[in-house]
Amino acid sequence: MAALYTLWMGLALLGALGILQTPAEAQVSPQPDFQQDKFLGEWFTSGFASNSSWLRENEDQLYVSKSVVVPMENGGLNFTNIYISKDQCNTRSLLLQPEGTPGYYSYKSPGWGSTREVWMVDTDYEDYALLYTVGTRDLGQDAHVIFLYSRSQTPSDEVKEKFTTYAKAKGFTEDSIVFLPQMDKCLE
């Protein structure tokens, strides 16, 4: 009885501390004291690390893209992303819904009917931001992707290094880390 009680108390404590979570949540947490208002404005998606087979197969068709981030009334973020595809500039809005904790969002992919979780894991707001994302279906079953966002089209070596170090610490191999080439079209 005593042993069972101790075990139960232990589990209750772990639960209260938020340690009993899904594996992804246990590994990833947003930057402490994430300040969404400082994150607004213009960003360039300049790289990613992933184990998504879709991204790997299509990476030679991907270029640096631009996003303009504005807040939504519900506390989420609206990313208007301008990207190049088949030599055309395309625009789409990615709506990140707030999930209670600052820096933690979910994104429902309209085309795929799947949900992707997004954590703002590290940012200095002025140069770079690292977004850790986990989702199903859209980029392949249980694909983990870390995106590098930079305020300039070409991130500094220091920022690239920071991103590479973070991705490797999360178990991504060197060959899964991609810095996207630039195409001036669609970036003005």
Ligand X SMILES: *[C@@H]1O[C@H](CO)[C@@H](O)[C@H](O)[C@H]1NC(C)=O
Specify which residues 105 forms β-bridges with: 98, 118
In the complex, least distance from residue 150 CB atom to ligand X, rounded to whole angstroms: 21
- Sequence-distant (≥ 6) Cβ neighbours of residue 158 within 8 angstroms: none
Query: Do residues 135 and 143 lie in contact, with contact meaning Cβ atoms separated by under 8 Å?
Result: yes
Q: Using CB under 6 A as the criterion, which residues of the chain lie in contact with ligand X when the complex forms?
A: 51, 72, 78, 80, 93, 95, 140-144, 171
In the complex, least distance from residue 10 CB atom to ligand X, rounded to whole angstroms: 26
- For ligand X, which is the closer residue by CB, 51 or 106? 51
In the complex, least distance from residue 80 CB atom to ligand X, rounded to whole angstroms: 4
In the complex, least distance from residue 124 CB atom to ligand X, rounded to whole angstroms: 25
- For ligand X, which is the closer residue by CB, 56 or 151? 56
- For ligand X, which is the closer residue by CB, 145 or 159? 145
- For ligand X, which is the closer residue by CB, 93 or 101? 93
CA distance 120 to 102: 9
Query: Do residues 120 and 131 lie in contact, with contact meaning Cβ atoms separated by under 8 Å?
Result: yes
- For ligand X, which is the closer residue by CB, 92 or 156? 92
**Best CA proximity match to 95, nearest among 69, 120, 56:** 69
- Start-end of H helices in 47-180: 53-58, 157-169
H-helix or E-strand spanning residue 69: strand 65-71
In the complex, least distance from residue 78 CB atom to ligand X, rounded to whole angstroms: 4
